[in-house]
Structure formats: structure tokens, C-alpha cells
A = this chain, B = another copy of it.
Amino acid sequence: MGAALPVKVADIAKACGVSPATVSLVLKGSPLVNAKTREKVEAEIKRSGYVYNRAAANLRKQVSTVVALIINDLANPFFAEFASGVDNYLAQRGFVTLLGHSGESVERQAQVLNSLVQHSPVGIILSPAEHTEAEDLTMLNRNLPVLVFNREVPGSWNFLGLDNQTGAEKACQHLLHLGHQQIVFVGGHADSPSCSQRRAGYARAMQLAGKKEYQRFFESAPTKRGGFECASQILEHLADQTPSGFVCYNDAVALGVCQALANKRIRVGWQASVVGFDDIQEAGDHFPPLTTMTTSPKALGERAAEMIFKIRPDTVLHEIVPVELMIRQSTGPK
């Protein structure tokens, strides 16, 4: 039935006894073509199962309908939801997402970037791998719009990120208002910018509350397992003076902390309070639902995609999205 070889504009032109130029005008919906001709051409387009070749058209038109998206860790729901937000927005505007996954490896990220720029994207949204340096991004030509997401990278990049410091400060204040005295900060790698920002927010809240001397920081992988192991150790070693408030690096860590507490028969939301960060889907689905700092990752993705089209060569965008306290049941009065 359908032609074995892909149908081209020229084929349609021939079948209709018109020129390729006319067919192109029809495809474009131009008012220049005669109604009868248009009808004939459109019928043939449908009949032949013609598929528009956007690559060829874009080449000639000198435009692109592609946006590249590089994600550091898709298995992390925060980034997966972000990606879905990006794609949603782009699809609405008739663009398409070219996905790359770095798996937190700077080398792979470089390979992926090199491969993606060759597809002439309109712009690049990069959620960088850990420890990405300016020299890892040299393949990014200066007049290609690049938006760095979530983690700052040395150099002047268009950036979209969260207000980590204020967020963690609010999180800690929330626990302070509930009457908690011994509050610790759990999780994340101290050398990651987002972690140090969140730590700073916690520190500020503690200081303003006159609790500077109690500050405690614990390091862990930014995962559920990391949070679980870290909190388990805390509970063992600080057995005599167990903290009752846990400000966590992110939701994954917070969920791990909750499990460590549950494991020790400490009721989260009653005997201890836990605050997360990110508001991933699971935060709300968890039991008890997690109090956390929220900015929908999906909304962030949509915003990132929107920003790509606002980037201009002469200025640098730098948007810090406020995060809000979402009070659920993992926190309660002391």
C-alpha cells in the first residue's frame, strides 16, 4: 500500500501537476495559492502519507525547533519531574526536547554536550554534573543560549536556581517556632554549592535564635540511603542527647532520616520533626507526609524552558526562585 520510499514535496508536485514551490506554499498555508489547487494538493498529501522533513526545512529556513536538555541524574525524581516540565512547555510551543543524560559524570556530560550541539539546538538547558568547571563547558559557543539549572558553575552563565539559603533558614525557623531546641542539619556534600547554601541558611536561623553553639552538620550522600545511614549513626552516637529537629539537605535524605527514626521507634511529627527540601512527588505521598520546602520541580522545568527564549547575547539572566514552606505531618510541636 503505502509507498516504500518516503514521499517528498517533489513527488506530490509531480502527482498534482504543479511545481514544488506550490506544494511548499500549500504546506505553509499561504493565501497565495488558488483554492482549487490547494484542495488538490492537500488531498494528495493525505493520500500519499507524506511526512514533513523538518531537518531539511530548518536547514533552508535557518531555524531550529530543538532545545537540548542535559540532566545529571534522571533516576532522581526531582530532575525527572523537571525534565517533564521542560518537555511540556516546549511541546506547547512546537519545539522538541533533545535529551542527554550525564549520570553525574563530567566526562560523559562533555561527550553528550558535544553530540547535542551538533544538532543545532535553539538553546541548551543544563543541569550540570557535580564538580562541573568552566573548562568543561568550552564547547558551548558564546552565542548559543545556555541556561544552567540548579547548580552554579564558575563563570557567568544564565542561571535558574532555588533560593537555597533562605529556604533552609525558613525550614529551621519553622522548627524553632515549634519549640525545638536541638536541631541538626543532615545530608549533602559540604563542597557542593547548594549544600553549603542550605547549611548557611540553617546556620543563620540558629544564630538569630541564639543557638549558635548547638549547630551540627552531618554529611551524607544526597540520597535516601545516605540520609538513612547518617541518621542511624546520629541516633546511636548522640543517644544521650538526641536532636529533636532535623533540617535535611533534600527530600530524599529526609525520607531516609524518617526511616531511621521509625526504625528506632521514634514517631516522626511527634517525638522528632523532619523538614525536607524540593517537594518531590513522593514527599506528599509518604507517611507521614513530609514537611518540606516547595517549588514544584515541574513548574521549574516549565520556567527553564520559558527562559531559554528570553536569553539575549548582551545580558545574563540570573533567577533565584523563592521556596515556600509546605507544612505537612513530619513536623510538630516539641
User: Which A residues have a C-beta under 8 Å from some C-beta of B?
Assistant: 2, 4, 6, 49, 51-56, 58-59, 66, 69, 74-75, 77, 80-81, 83-84, 87-88, 91, 94, 96-101, 103, 108, 111-112, 115-120, 141-143, 223-225, 228, 256, 259-260, 262-263, 281-282, 284-287, 298
Number of copies: 2
> Most chain-B CB neighbours within 10 Å: which of A59, A74, A119, A120?
A74
In the bound complex, residues from chain B placing their C-beta under 8 Å from that of A141 are 2, 6, 49, 51
**Which 4 A-B pairs have CB atoms at the shortest separation, nearest pair first?**
A80-B80, A99-B99, A74-B84, A259-B287
Residues A75 and B281 in contact in the complex (CB < 8 Å), given A4-B143, A54-B118, A116-B96 = yes
* Contact of A51 (CB < 8 Å), options: B111, B118, B260: B118
Contact A260 B287 (CB under 8 A): yes
| B84 in contact with A103 (CB, 8 Å) | yes
Q: Enumerate chain B residues within 8 angstroms of A285, measured Cβ to Cβ.
A: 223-225, 228, 256
Give the shortest distance, in Å, between A45 (CB) and chain B (any CB): 13
Give Cα distance in the complex from A58 to B317, angstroms: 34
| Closest B residue by C-beta to A97 | B99
| 10 A-B interface contacts by CB (under 8 A) | A2-B141, A49-B142, A51-B118, A51-B120, A53-B59, A55-B55, A87-B99, A96-B119, A99-B99, A262-B262
* Complex contact B87–A287 (CB within 8 A): no
Q: In the assembled complex, which residues on chain B have CB atoms less than 8 Å from the CB atom of A99?
A: 69, 83, 87, 97-99
- Beta-carbon contact of A98 and B100 below 8 Å: no
How far in angstroms is the closest Cβ of chain B from A269?
A: 12
13 further contact pairs, Cβ within 8 A, besides A51-B142, A225-B284: A6-B141, A53-B118, A54-B118, A55-B120, A56-B59, A59-B59, A83-B99, A91-B115, A96-B100, A96-B119, A97-B99, A228-B285, A262-B262
A59 CB contacts on chain B under 8 angstroms: 53, 55-56, 59
Cβ of A217 to closest chain B Cβ, rounded Å: 22
- Assess whether B96 is in contact with A98, with CB atoms less than 8 Å apart: yes
Residue of B nearest to A91 (CB): B112
Chain B's nearest CB lies how many Å from the CB of A117? 6
The answer to whether A101 and B91 touch (CB under 8 A), given A51-B141, A55-B120, is yes
Residues of B within 8 A of A282 (CB): 224
The one of B100, B118, B263, B284 that contacts A287, using a Cβ cutoff of 8 Å: B263
